[in-house]
Structure formats: structure tokens, C-alpha cells
């Protein structure tokens, strides 16, 4: 971050507070029940995303380019909820509302990186569906492991670069009045508006980030499904159309769970109560990472079959282990009986 400060000159100093105060859920009645709900959402999210990643790693049949993107989505969902939910519970449930300056910026960085990657990962999955349906014969050539790894790595580099710039610009701001952030996380928009010097660069970034996180991915995904719909319309039979559409249901469900809550909140705008807005936005960030692995397990035949196969293997292993243990148990029982008989004989 020193680069941003030195670029402005050595004589410029910035007033940085020791901490920020996060006050998003303050004053909401019965909010502790919501914290319990968040805790269970987090546990399910960790277990489900770990299971999906484990299945993809263990089953060689799932090591295809498409499941590289699915694995990355599960990883980002796991990291995203792990960066948000424990900190939110620590802040509000245990009343640790004061977050040190550097910790707050770090919290912001990881929250936005995971949110950004989730949206762009859905774009990568939509590209996979477009090629598979519109250009099925070219799929093995156009969607390769090398291409998907390169695409995912490029997304990570792009997002991390954008967020480093975003956080770096915040370090140029001086905070000489309020340090209260009215959100459930260290929100970028809430932070730069608290500054008492010129925050124009941060304002420009704030206008760009929603477009990059929300509107650009959603536009690309909608365009891809227009292409898919046009291709399916040219298919002769209804059965083939339905078969092609079914391959997209999992991805469409992911898109709906990610974009619909955010779109509703932004569409209602000032008409929605501030507390309801905070809860809706928190659900929009925390709920999709829990639903994504469940959707893929329920709607993707390959993962369901792989999961059933792994469960059968684990069950057989446990049965075999139990069966192998029984002769040893009988041996110990016979030894114990022999010791008891010897004691009785010596007693008489």
C-alpha cells in the first residue's frame, strides 16, 4: 500500500483511525436467532463444499474441464463463507464491533474477492454449456483442461488485482470524524463515504465494481443462454431439446440463487428498510455458497453417481474392517475366559 501513498508525495499524511465500528445488525429485534441460522448455514456450507471437492478429487471420471470450474466454485464458496460468517458472528454475537483498521481492510479484500470470483466462475460455467450445446463436436478441442485452468487462473489474477487497487485507494483516505460502518461487513461504500478528504477515485471504483460483479457477468450469462435457446430451437425433437436443457438446469439454479436476491435488493433501493436491506444482502452473500454444492449434487447425474459409489466403497471398507476385527475379538474373549478359569482353579 506504500506505493499509493508515495505516489502522492512524501509530505502528505493520512489520518487513519485505530479501528472501525461495524454496526449493521444493531437494533434488530430477535437477531440472535439469525446468528444461529447463520451458524447452521456455515456448517452445512463447509460440509457440502468439502464433499463436492472431495468427490471431484477422488473420482477420475469427474476430472474433466467442466469440473475444474465446479471445483473452483466449491473452493471459493468455502473460502467466501469462511471469511464472512465466523467474523460476522464474532463481531455481533460476541460484541466485538471494533475492528482494527488493517484488519477491516483485509476483511473487505477477502469478502469482495470471493464474491467477485463466484460471479465470474458462473460465466466460465456458462461458456462450458454454450460450447457443449451449440458446438458439441468442437467441445473436446475448445474446452480443454489447459484452457479451463488458464481461464480460472486469469480470473483469480484479475480479481485480486482489482481488489488490491480498491483497497489501496482506501488507504489514501483520511478519517477525521465518524468511524461507524452501517453494514454487516467492512463495506467499501460505507468506508469511503466516511472520509473527510477527496474520495473521487474510490467513488469511481465503487461505480465500477457492481458492474464487474453483477451486470457484466449477468449480461454474458444471458447472452450465452440466448445462444443456447436458439441452438435448441433448431433441434428436431422435443425430447432432444429437453435433454439439452436439463444439462443447464444446475447452472441456471446457481445463477438464480446468486443474482436474484441481489437484484431484488438493488431494485427496491430506498423503498426497503435499512435493516431488511442488510439482512437481504447478507443472505445474498452467505446463502448461495451453501446452496451451490447441494444443487450440483441433486441435479448433476455424474456427481450423484460418484457420491453413491464413494459411499458404497466407504461402507464396504467399514464392514470389512469390522469383519476383520471379529476374529481378534474372539481371541481376546477366549484369552479372558482362560484367565478366569485359571483363577477359579487356583481358588479351589
pLDDT at 8: 46
Cα(137)–Cα(286) distance, integer angstroms: 38
Residues 208-244 have pLDDT tens digits of: 887 888 888 889 999 998 888 888 888 767 777 787 7
pLDDT at 313: 67
pLDDT at 316: 67
Rounded (10°) CA dihedral 22, 23, 25, 30: 120
List the 19-22 sheet strands across, edge first: 98-100, 19-22, 180-181
Q: 2-299: which CATH number, 1.20.1070.10, 3.40.640.10, 3.40.47.10, 1.10.3720.10? A: 1.20.1070.10
Helices 101-134 and 249-268 meet at what angle, rounded to 10?
A: 130
pTM over cut 0.95: no
Cell of 36: 444461529
Cα(108)–Cα(291) distance, integer angstroms: 23
Cell of 180: 461507524
Cα(21)–Cα(162) distance, integer angstroms: 25
Cα(157)–Cα(160) distance, integer angstroms: 5
pLDDT at 348: 47
Task: Report residue 181: phi and psi, to 5°.
Answer: -100, 115
Residue spans per domain, the chain: 2-299
pLDDT at 344: 52
Task: Report residue 89: phi and psi, to 5°.
Answer: -65, -40
Residue ranges for the chain with pLDDT beneath 50: 1-9, 331-332, 335, 338-339, 342-343, 346-348
Cell of 231: 441452438
**Long-range contact pairs involving 68-71 (C-beta distance under 8 Å, separation at least 24):** 68/145, 68/148, 68/149, 68/152, 69/121, 69/124, 69/125, 69/128, 69/148, 69/151, 69/152, 70/125, 70/296
Amino acid at each position: 500500500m506504500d506505493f499509493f501513498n508515495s505516489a502522492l508525495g512524501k509530505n502528505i499524511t493520512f489520518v487513519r483511525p485505530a479501528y472501525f465500528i461495524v454496526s449493521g445488525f444493531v437494533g434488530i429485534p430477535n437477531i440472535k436467532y439469525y446468528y444461529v441460522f447463520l451458524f447452521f448455514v456455515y456448517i452445512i456450507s463447509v460440509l457440502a463444499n468439502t464433499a463436492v471437492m472431495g468427490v471431484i478429487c477422488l473420482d477420475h471420471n469427474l476430472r474433466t474441464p467442466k469440473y475444474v470450474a465446479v471445483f473452483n466454485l466449491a473452493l471459493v464458496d468455502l473460502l467466501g463463507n469462511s471469511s464472512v460468517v465466523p467474523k460476522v458472528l464474532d463481531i455481533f454475537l460476541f460484541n466485538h464491533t471494533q475492528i482494527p483498521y488493517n484488519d477491516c481492510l483485509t476483511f473487505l479484500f477477502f469478502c469482495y474477492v470471493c464474491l467477485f470470483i463466484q460471479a465470474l466462475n458462473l460465466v466460465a460455467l456458462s461458456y462450458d454449456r454454450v460450447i457443449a450445446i451449440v458446438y458439441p463436436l468442437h467441445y473436446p478441442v475448445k474446452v480443454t483442461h489447459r484452457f479451463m485452468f488458464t481461464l480460472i487462473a486469469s480470473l483469480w489474477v484479475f480479481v485480486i488485482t482489482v481488489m488490491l487497487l480498491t483497497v489501496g485507494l482506501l488507504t489514501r483516505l483520511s478519517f477525521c470524524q465518524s468511524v461507524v460502518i452501517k453494514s454487516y461487513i467492512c463495506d467499501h461504500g460505507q468506508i469511503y463515504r466516511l472520509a473527510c478528504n477527496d474520495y473521487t477515485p474510490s467513488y469511481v471504483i465503487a461505480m465500477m465494481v457492481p458492474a464487474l460483479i453483477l451486470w457484466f457477468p449477468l449480461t454474458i450469462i444471458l447472452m450465452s443462454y440466448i445462444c443456447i435457446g436458439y441452438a435448441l430451437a433448431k433441434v428436431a425433437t422435443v425430447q432432444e431439446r429437453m435433454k439439452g436443457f436439463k444439462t443447464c438446469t444446475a447452472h441456471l439454479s446457481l445463477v438464480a440463487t446468486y443474482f436474484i436476491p441481489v437484484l431484488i435488493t438493488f431494485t427496491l433501493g430506498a423503498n426497503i428498510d435499512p435493516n431488511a436491506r442488510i439482512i437481504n444482502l447478507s443472505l445474498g452473500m452467505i446463502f448461495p455458497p451453501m446452496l451451490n454444492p447441494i444443487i450440483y449434487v441433486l441435479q448433476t447425474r455424474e456427481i450423484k453417481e460418484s457420491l453413491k459409489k464413494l459411499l458404497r466403497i466407504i461402507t464396504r471398507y467399514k464392514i470389512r474392517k469390522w469383519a476383520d476385527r471379529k476374529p481378534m475379538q474372539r481371541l481376546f474373549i477366549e484369552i479372558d475366559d482362560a484367565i478366569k478359569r485359571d483363577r477359579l482353579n487356583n481358588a479351589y
